[in-house]
Structure 1
C-alpha cells in the first residue's frame, strides 16, 4: 500500500520507519528540500497548494499528515476528489484555530481556562477586565512549540505584546496555575474501535516539550477522566489515526489545553515503551489494518533534543537508552532528535536518569529534577 504524507519532518520519518515493515511505501510532500523523511521514500518538494504536487500525492492509496498546519482546504480538496484522507479535514480545521479548538472543548464539556476572542485593542482590554492578569495573548493560527504567544503579567506588557502580535487575529487565555501537565494519546480506526496509550506526564520549557514520562503517576480516577476526554474528542471528530490531547492538572481538575490531529512528541516513548508504537498504530488505522496493542512494555522517560544533538559518548553507554537522530541540521529551537530510557520499574529508572544529569544539555538537567520530584 502506498501512503502519501503531507509533511516530511521527523514525524513522517518515524511513520515510515514503522510502516515499511508493514509493506507500505511512502511519498512525502514538503516545501523543504531537506525534509528528513525523504531518506525513506519519494520526496515531492512543493508548497501545500501546488496542484501538480497534489496530483502526485493523489496516486497514493491513503493520505495523512505529519503537520497540523497543513491547510484544511487542501485536505478537503483531496477528499472531495475521492482520495482517502485520514484523519479528515474537520480535525485539522478545529486544531488550526485556537478559538475554534477552545469552543470545541467547551461543547464536549472538557474544561478549559477562561478565554475570549481578540480582534482589536478594545477587545483585548475588555477581555482582560473579565479574565484578569496574568493571561496569555496568542495568535489564533500557526501557534505551536511556543510560537505566537505573549504572557501578560501586568498592564506594562500590553504595548510590547500588541506590537508583536497585533497584526493577527488573537485569543486571550487565562493563566492556569497547574500542578503539572500530561497528555493522552488515542488511536481510532474507521470502524470506531479506539485504544488509549498510558497517560504521559510532560514537562515544557519555552513552550516546547522537553521531557515525557509514562506511565504518569496519577490516581486512577484522573487517568480515566483524561482517557474519557480523549475518546470523546476522537469520537466527535469521527477521527481515524492517532490523536493527542494535552491537559493541565490543577488539584482534582483537568483542563484541555490543545490537541494535535497527528502523531505527537509526547508519545515518542511508545516506540520502545509500548507494545505497538503510536507511529505504527497511526499507519495501521489509516490503512485499515488491525490496531496494535497500546499496553506499556516498560516505564519510559523521553528526552527531547532541541537545537543540536548532544554528545553520544556517555549517553550511548547507558543500558536501555534508545537513541533517535532525525538527520536534521542543527538550528536553535529545532527538534533534532530524542532518546528514551526504559527500566523495569519507575523507582529503578529514576536513579539512572539522575546519573545522566551532567551529560544532559540545559535546561533538561534542571527539568529532570522537577519531573522526578513529583
Structure 2
C-alpha cells in the first residue's frame, strides 16, 4: 500500500464514537491536523471535539460521502465501526486501515478461517445452524463450551454457556436467530495481548506486552508489562508477527491470547484498531496508541516505544464513583480519566479508568486491589468477543 504523506493542516476524519474517538481527534489537533468526525449522535464527545462534526447513521451513504470528501484520510476508532461503511468511504478518500481486516474480524467464521489458514492454535469450534448441529458437534467440542453468533457486536446477550447435556435443549430458540459457532472453553491461567503497529511498508513495531483481567465478561484491569515467561512471549510475538504480515492493514493491531497452566497458547482474537486495553500506554511508555495510529495513517515514521514506568489501570463503572471519592483524597499516585458521555449516550459499560505506577506491574495491580473497588477481578473468558 503506497499512500502519500499527510502533512499538518490536512484534514483527518475519525469515524465512530467510543472514547478512542475523542482521544484520536485531540491527538490529531495536537499534531497540527484539522479534524472531522462522523457518528450517529450529535452530542457525542468525539463530534463535539472535532472541527467539522457530521451526523449520520452507519448506512447513510449521502452523509458518509459528505464526510469522506472533506477528509484527506479517515481512520476508524474501534472494531465496532461497520466494515460496510468503511468500504463505502474508500470510494471517496483514503482509509489506510482498509476494510478487509475489519470485515474479517467482525465475522467469527471468517476470522477462524483466517487463523486456520495461518495454522495458529485456536479453540476447537463447529458451525451451528440448527439444534441438531449442537448435538452432533458436542462429542468433539466437549463441555463446557460457548455458543456465539458469528457476527461480533450483534446479539451480545445471545450467547450461552453449555455445561452439561441438558443445556443443549435450552439453545433451541437461540439458534433460530441465525448462524452460530460452538466453541470449546479453554481452561486458561493467564490472558495476554501483543500490541503492534503496522506501517505502510508492512514493517511491524511492538508495544510492551499486556496482561488483562476480566469480571463478568468486562475488561476491568490491565497490567504492563505482562509477567510472562520468555518462551511464551516469544511464541506469542511470533504468532502476532505472522498475523500482522498477512493482514492488509495499516495501524494499531492487538492480538489477544489465552495461556494455559501447561504453557500452551491459543489465539483469542484480533482487534484491527485501538482497543481499550491500550489506554495504559499513554502512562507507561513514551508514545500513545493514538499517536502511533495517526503516524501510521499519515505515512510518518513510527515511534520506537520504550517503557518508562510499570503500572496498571482499573476501569470504572458509575457505581464505583462513591468508592473512588475516598481514593481521590488519599492517593497522590492515582491518575484519573473519566469518559464524559451525554445523557443521550447512557448507560455505558465503562465510565473511565484510573492508572497507578509500581515497581512492577503486579505491585501496581495490588495497589488497585487493596481498595476493594475491583473485588473479584479474575481471569475469565470474555464471551463478548
TM-score for both structures, normalised by structure 1: 0.90
Call closer, same or farther: CA 1:327–1:308 in 2, change over 3 Å.
farther
Structure 1 residues 155-304: aligned runs within 5 Å: 155-250=165-260, 251-304=262-315
2:383 corresponds to? none
Per-residue Cα deviation, 1:194-224 (whole angstroms, up to 9, x for no partner): 1111111111122221111010101111112
Deviation at 1:91, TM superposition (A): 0.3
Inter-partner Cα distance in structure 1 for 2:18 and 2:369: 31
List per-residue Cα deviations over 1:173-196 (Å, max 9, x = no partner). 011011111111111111122111
Q: Give 1:156 deviation, angstroms.
A: 2.5
SS in 2 for 1:279: helix
Per mean C-alpha deviation after superposition, the further-off stretch among 322-331 and 20-29 is 322-331
Alignment partners' CA distance in 2, 1:274 and 1:244: 17
Judge conservation of contact 1:146–1:206 (CA < 8 Å) in 2: no
1:25 to 9, 21, 34: 34
Report Cα offsets for 1:10-44 as digits up to 9, x if no partner: 11112223222111232221123332212311332
* Correspondence list, 1:348-367, <5 A: 348-357=363-372, 360=373, 364-367=374-377
Query: Counterpart of 1:87?
Result: 97
Matched, 1:336 2:351: yes
Distance 1:307 1:122 in 2: 43
2:339 corresponds to which of 301, 312, 326: 326
Partner of 1:5 in structure 2? Answer: 14
Q: Which whole-Å CA distance do the structure 1 matches of 2:309 and 2:175 have between them? A: 43
The answer to whether the 8 Å contact 2:128/2:175 transfers is no
In 2, Cα distance between equivalents of 1:145 and 1:301: 31
Task: Report if aligned partners of 1:145, 1:209 keep a CA contact under 8 Å in 2.
Answer: no
Shift of residue 162, structure 1, vs aligned partner? 3.3
> Is 1:313 paired with 2:322?
no
Distance 1:346 1:142, change over 3 A: closer
State the 1:67 CA deviation.
3.0
TM-score if structure 2 supplies the norm length?
0.88
Higher relative contact order (Cα pairs below 8 Å, separated by 6+ residues): 2
Give 5+ residue unaligned stretches, structure 1. none
What secondary structure does 1:365 align onto?
coil
Residue matched to 2:78: 67
How far did residue 303 of structure 1 move? 0.7
The question of 1:149 aligning with 2:159 is answered yes
Residue 146 of structure 1 contacts residue 208 of structure 1 at CA under 8 Å; is this kept in 2?
A: no
Give the aligned partner of residue 53 of structure 1. Answer: 63
Distance 2:319 2:96 in 1: 32
Q: Is the 8 A contact 1:309 1:325 kept in 2?
A: no
Counterpart-to-counterpart distance in 1, 2:172 and 2:194: 34
> Residues 145, 161 of structure 1: CA spacing in aligned structure 2 closer, same or farther, 3 A cutoff?
closer
Instruction: Tell me the matched-pair count.
Output: 364
State the distance in 1 between where 2:279 and 2:264 align: 26
CA distance in 1: counterparts of 2:220 and 2:205, whole angstroms: 25
1:230-254 per-position Cα deviation (integer Å, ceiling 9, x unaligned): 2221221132110111110012111
**Counterparts in 2 of 1:148 and 1:279: CA distance versus 1, 3 Å:** farther
| Residue 38 (structure 1) aligned to one of 43, 47, 50 | 47
Change (3 A) 1:292 1:308: farther
Alignment RMSD (CA, Å): 2.3
Structure 2: how far apart are the matches of 1:147 and 1:297?
A: 40
